[in-house]
Amino acid sequence: MMNRFYANEPMTKLNMGLFTFASYNAGPGRIAQMRRLAAKRGLDPNVWYNNVEVVASEKIGRQTVQYVSSIYKYYPAYQIDRGTAG
């Protein structure tokens, strides 16, 4: 999913992952729509947190936002475990 929908997007790898999780939960078409709406509001369509996340929460509901957050909360621990933090 990441390679298909986000590989050529101008976003960080972290945001690619976050958008992939959101797409898995809500559907890639729905997330593309949220990115367009975010851009119309002057938010960064290539950043999940405090940008597309805000629009998704309003338009889709909290489920997708909570899903992404639930997965992301393990990311720092994963980075430390792999020796790639900091």
Separation of alpha carbons 53 and 51, rounded Å: 5
Question: How distant is the alpha carbon of residue 37 from its chain centre?
Answer: 14
pLDDT of amino acid 82: 64
Confidence of residue 4 (pLDDT cuts 50, 70, 90): very high
End-to-end CA, the chain: 28
- pLDDT tens-digit readout, 37-55: 999 999 999 999 999 999 9
pLDDT at 80 over 90: no
Q: pTM of the full predicted structure?
A: 0.86
74 vs 11: which has the higher pLDDT: 11
**Is residue 35 included in any domain, yes or no?**
yes
Mean pLDDT of 23-29: 97
Structure tokens at 33: 């729509």
Structural domains of the chain, count: 1
Q: Is residue 11 part of a domain?
A: no
Contact 84, 41 (CB under 8 A): no
Q: Is the residue at 72 inside a domain?
A: yes
